[in-house]
Chains A and B, each alone.
Chain A
Amino acid sequence: MKVLELKKVNKIYDGSEVPVHAVNDVSLDFDEAEFVAIVGPSGSGKTTLLNLIGGLDMPSSGEIIIDGTNLSKLKSSQLIDFRMRNIGFVFQAYNLIPVLTAKENVEFIMSLQKWPRKERDERTLELLNAVGLGDRINSRPSKLSGGQQQRVAVARALASRPKFVLADEPTANLDSKSATTLLGIMETLNHGEKITFIFSTHDPRVVKMAHRVITLEDGRVISDDVRE
């Protein structure tokens, strides 16, 4: 089932003297439960593409359709709400809320969505156990290692059962062991939760585990390989 569709998407930054074509005529489809790596050298447009998919930025032309909704047609406030309900984010620098515990961080989106307390608690514990942090639910981010924080971030991204999760260089700040653990967890959740993961990366370990690898260069898709 198709969860995300990009049709002839372009993004041109024309703030400077020379316009920059960051994303150039990209058309892609993503199905449910895919585990996709977007790779390419620095400046190839990976992060811009993720921002466009995540509705954090708007394309200069083309359409981005998520589960039948064209993002360009949404008003700013509708877009924020749409993001909250349909897209999970994992950031390179973890970006947890420092004053909240691991449990509170994970249940944050659910509380914004006004989930009932019982369901919220159950889902939070389920996810924190899944990422191996069932015993650290009351720890604040400052008391967790980088790998543990990123696992909390993954649990948070999945909390409200989004259509897909966007991860921008999720292992960039992690050591090898933490990165491997995180990737294992993400792959398990990808299978278990049937949620699509799309991540930009330079990390060969991530690329190795991906089921589909999209390569960008100068904003264009130069290859889209699906692995069996």
Chain B
Amino acid sequence: MILSISWKNIWRNKVRSLVVIVASTLGIISGVMVVGIMEGWVEQRLHDAIYNEVSHIQIHNSDYLKNEEINLTVQDTALVAEAVKQLPGLKGWVARTKMVVMANTPWANTGIFIYGIDPEREKQVSEIYKKIIPGAGNYLDKDKPGTILISDKTAEILKLKQYCLTDTVIGKLERGEFPKSVLSKLAGIKDERFRSPKDFRAILKSLLTGKELDNYGRQLMDSSLEYKIRNKIQITLSDEQGTPVQGTFRVCGIYRTTNTGFDQVTAFVNAGELAALYDGKSILIHEIAIMIEDIENAGSAKEKLSGISRHNTVSTWKELAPDAAMMNDFMIIYYFIFIGIVMFALAFGIINTMMMTILERTRELGMLMAIGMNRRRIFSMIMLETIFLTVVGAAAGMVGGWVIVMSLGKTGIHFLSWGEGFEAIGFAATVYPVITPFFFIIITIMVISTAIISSVWPARKALKLDPAEAIRTE
């Protein structure tokens, strides 16, 4: 009966209750959305850090971590390889050569890490092969010697990327119903080559209005972009004796991850071809990367591998990508902080509404006390009303938030204007929000706690009523 009265009571003043319910709904929707976006970013960063950059576990020569010299290779590789193969839940592992080199083109040069890899085997631990930009070549192929896989950022630095409004590009844009008025403004830069996005963006800015730039700038940049695939890059490195040696590789493809910091210093070649450069005999192993089935077992796998050679250092993804690890661990605290703020604000609305309710129902509460409704039942009734009021809005908010997050999880939210900034710190410009059942459990607990805490003050006010006086209230 108390349950039924409480439920009916919240609908006595529909408008007032709906205001609180809508406020709860919007608060929870915004909470779910913001947390969903954060979670999406963290999940993306974590996934990309592991699958593009560091894997679950890496083994290096301890001294190599301090000073990346060619001679500081992983020690006792046979024993290490045997131990790696024995790891429970092993998904794959690779041995890589990793060297600091200077990369040159006729137009520019830059220092990068070059990885000597077995391209096919590398797919066990890295998803770089999935990151090739469409129309920008292919992944490394063992059967195509003398090739190098570089990133979009490296191509930009080495001026292997250019922007040019050719007839073909203009024709394609026209067929796509691109405004002719905008194209006519660009007639003056037709066939002109721009070797950096900055220069091309600057010229577009000078020719177009701000609105045109906002609406069509990205499309123009994407359409005009050309990569100089098959161009040569000269690599200079020091061999085991410290003698500078050089080799030339043709660009086979260009990849792009969500982390330009990683991209701009990372290129890949066939390990054998790199070995041919520094001594021509054996492949040096500077890094062993391991992927296991369950990320949670990385710590125990590290323990198993750590004792093999005292000269090696075994690191888990948490040590190799501390930013991603920190964000992953911080998310739970973030949930509590953000939802806590939403709940704190909501609590004031709930308390206000319930206090008004108590004030309006003084006579009724007096009557209930007079006819025998005890304090516990009065308290329960007020508390249940508060819980219903809050939970109805929260439930609607959770369902609404979940639907929005699920649909945005498919389409993604595009932050293209800030894409460069996001990618500089390892976050994708398009985020796919995700939400976990655990988050909804946290919200439910916090909503009910908020409702209970918010009900205490109004309920205490009700309990302080003198029934004899309350009954006479007009």
Contact = CB atoms under 8 A, between A and B. Distances in A.
Q: Among B4, B370, B374, B375, which residue has the most Cβ atoms of chain A within 10 A?
A: B370
A81 B374 contact: yes
A85 B370 contact: no
Interface stretch (A106-114, A201-209, A216-224): A106-114
B365 to A, nearest CB: 10
B372 A83 contact: yes
Contact of A91 (B9, B367, B369, B375): B367
Contacts of B199: none
Interface residues of B, number: 22
Contact of A85 (B5, B372, B467, B468): B372
B374 A80 contact: yes
B8 interface: yes
B303 interface: no
Given A80-B369, A112-B1, A98 B377 contact: no
B371 A109 contact: yes
A80 B364 contact: no
A77 B5 contact: no
B45 interface: no
A2 to B, nearest CB: 23
A84 interface: yes
A51 B372 CA distance: 14
B373 interface: yes
B338 to A, nearest CB: 36
Q: Among A51, A57, A88, which residue has the most Cβ atoms of chain B within 10 A?
A: A51
Given A77-B375, A100-B5, A56 B370 contact: yes
Contact of A112 (B8, B11, B373, B375): B373
Contacts of B4: 104
A54 interface: yes
Nearest to B1: A111
B464 interface: no
A84 B371 contact: yes
Interface in B436-474: 467-468, 471
B426 to A, nearest CB: 56
Contacts of A80: 369, 372-375
Contacts of B1: 104, 108, 111-112
Contacts of B367: 89, 91, 95
A81 B371 CA distance: 9
A11 to B, nearest CB: 11
Contacts of B373: 80, 84, 112
Nearest to B374: A80
A183 interface: no
Contact of A98 (B12, B369, B370, B471): B12
B363 interface: yes
B374 A77 contact: yes
Interface residues on A, range: 20 to 34
Given A80-B375, A111-B1, A112-B372, A95 B8 contact: no
A60 to B, nearest CB: 15
B219 to A, nearest CB: 60
B371 A89 contact: yes
A12 interface: no
A161 to B, nearest CB: 13
A222 B17 CA distance: 53
A130 interface: no
Contacts of B468: 51, 56-57
A95 B373 CA distance: 14
B471 A109 contact: no
B372 A93 contact: no
Interface in A98-150: 98-100, 104, 108-109, 111-112
Nearest to B366: A95
Contacts of A226: none
B8 A100 contact: yes
A97 B364 contact: yes
Contacts of A97: 5, 364, 368
Interface string A183-219: 0000000000000000000000000000000000000
Q: Among A51, A83, A99, A109, which residue has the most Cβ atoms of chain B within 10 A?
A: A99
A135 B314 CA distance: 84
A91 B364 contact: no
Interface in B366-389: 367-375, 377
Q: Among A81, A88, A89, which residue has the most Cβ atoms of chain B within 10 A?
A: A89
A109 B367 CA distance: 12
Interface string B1-37: 1001100110110000000000000000000000000
Contacts of B12: 98-99
Contact of B9 (A83, A99, A109): A99
A6 to B, nearest CB: 17
A109 B372 contact: yes
A95 B468 CA distance: 13
A80 B376 CA distance: 11
A89 B471 CA distance: 11
Interface in A2-57: 51, 54, 56-57
A103 to B, nearest CB: 12
- The list of the 9 closest CB pairs from A to B, nearest first, reads A84-B372, A99-B8, A95-B367, A56-B468, A111-B1, A80-B374, A51-B468, A83-B372, A57-B468
Given A80-B372, A89-B370, 12 more contacts: A56-B467, A57-B468, A80-B369, A81-B372, A83-B372, A85-B372, A89-B367, A89-B371, A91-B367, A95-B363, A98-B12, A111-B1
Interface of B: 1, 4-5, 8-9, 11-12, 363-364, 367-375, 377, 467-468, 471
19 contacts: A51-B468, A56-B468, A56-B471, A57-B468, A76-B375, A80-B369, A80-B372, A80-B375, A81-B374, A84-B371, A89-B367, A95-B363, A97-B5, A98-B12, A99-B11, A100-B8, A109-B371, A112-B372, A156-B371
